[in-house]
Every structure is written in C-alpha cells, then in structure tokens.
Structure 1
Amino acid sequence: MSNEADIAETWRAILSGAPGARHGNPLILEAAYKHAALRAVYPFPTHGTLQFYRDVVIEKNSFPMIVCAGPPYTVYTTNYGSLLGEAATPDEAVELLLSAWPEGDSGRA
C-alpha cells in the first residue's frame, strides 16, 4: 500500500471508530478532515492531542498540534514548542493550526 493509501485508510479507520483504531476528539477530527493539507498527513490522536506526521513511522513531528481537552482548545507548535493560541471551537482550532502549517507542505493552499 502506498503512503497516500495508508494515510487515507488511517483517516477512515479513525473517523469511523473502527476496532483497533486510535480514538480522539471526534469534533476536532472532523474539523481537521475538512482540510486537504491535514488529510494528506497521518493523524495521530494520543493523550488528549491530535498530532500529524509525514509517515506512518512516527519518529519526527514537524507539524503543529492541537490539545483537544477543550474548549478552549490549545494549539502548539511541534512538540509543545510554543503556544500558538486558544480556540473556542474545533474549526477555530484547526484554522489556528493551519496558520502555522509549513508553507507548501502537504497541499496547504
């Protein structure tokens, strides 16, 4: 299976609540899935966060992340490097995350 197919399958499994799939905040996951840049990378809900990775081998995270224990939802640069801000809704949290998304990465328009 290609990386692209693996990513699509990971999203499908998480959003559908498939057995064995990671579970996260469904509102944040649905808001994130609306955006091509986020659909193009691996979603990784873990410990109350939603993180994103380039590859299924989770070694290095180079993307911002959302702490999903809100509202308010908090958005950080990679690995809690810097607080980007707080958001009242899942859609606002995703927009804040995308405001710090690497330019030209994974389909970001």
Structure 2
Amino acid sequence: MCVNGARVRLITLGEIINETNVHPDVLKMNCEGCEYDVILNDYEHVKLFRELIFEYHRWVTGIPVKELLRVLNRDFKCTFVGRAYEDYGYVYCRQIT
C-alpha cells in the first residue's frame, strides 16, 4: 500500500503475534477506527490478550461501541475510562478468568 508516496506494509494482529512469537499480554489500540476491524474481524487473536485498552471512533465507522462490547463481553469485563461519548472514548477490558 502507498501512503503519501511511501510504501507501507499492511499487517494483521495475527501476523504480528505469529511473526514475533510474543506472548500476548496487553493490547493498546488507538488507530482512528481500525479498532472496529480488529475486534470484529480478528477476535480469535484479540481474545489471546489479558488486558485491552482502546480508543473507539464511531464517527469513523458509524458502528456503535456497544457492538464492540457485545463481542468483547464474551471473554472480558469492560469499563469506560474517563469520559465516554457516543462517537469516541476509551475502554479498558480485563479478561475474565
């Protein structure tokens, strides 16, 4: 992919985990809307982490944060951090053991 004339490699969360052989512990995401894609489409890798913190950006995707929480609540207890707005805010999740 090219961004402003520079070639940028696109990589998935699963590829990062597999290529680095890192043990997933804490996942922090602030990626201007891509958190929806990661959580909704690569949940098998997201649920490997013990803790998550992410900023959500509904104004980018049009998807309410409750859709992310619906998926995450299968394996995590999630709470809003600081002020939470409909279009953006922060969520902290800890894996349910």
TM-score (norm 2): 0.27
TM-score (norm 1): 0.25
- Asked which structure has the greater CA Rg, the reply is 2
Q: Which structure has more strand as a fraction of its residues? A: 2
Q: Which has the higher contact order (CA 8 A, sep 6+)?
A: 2
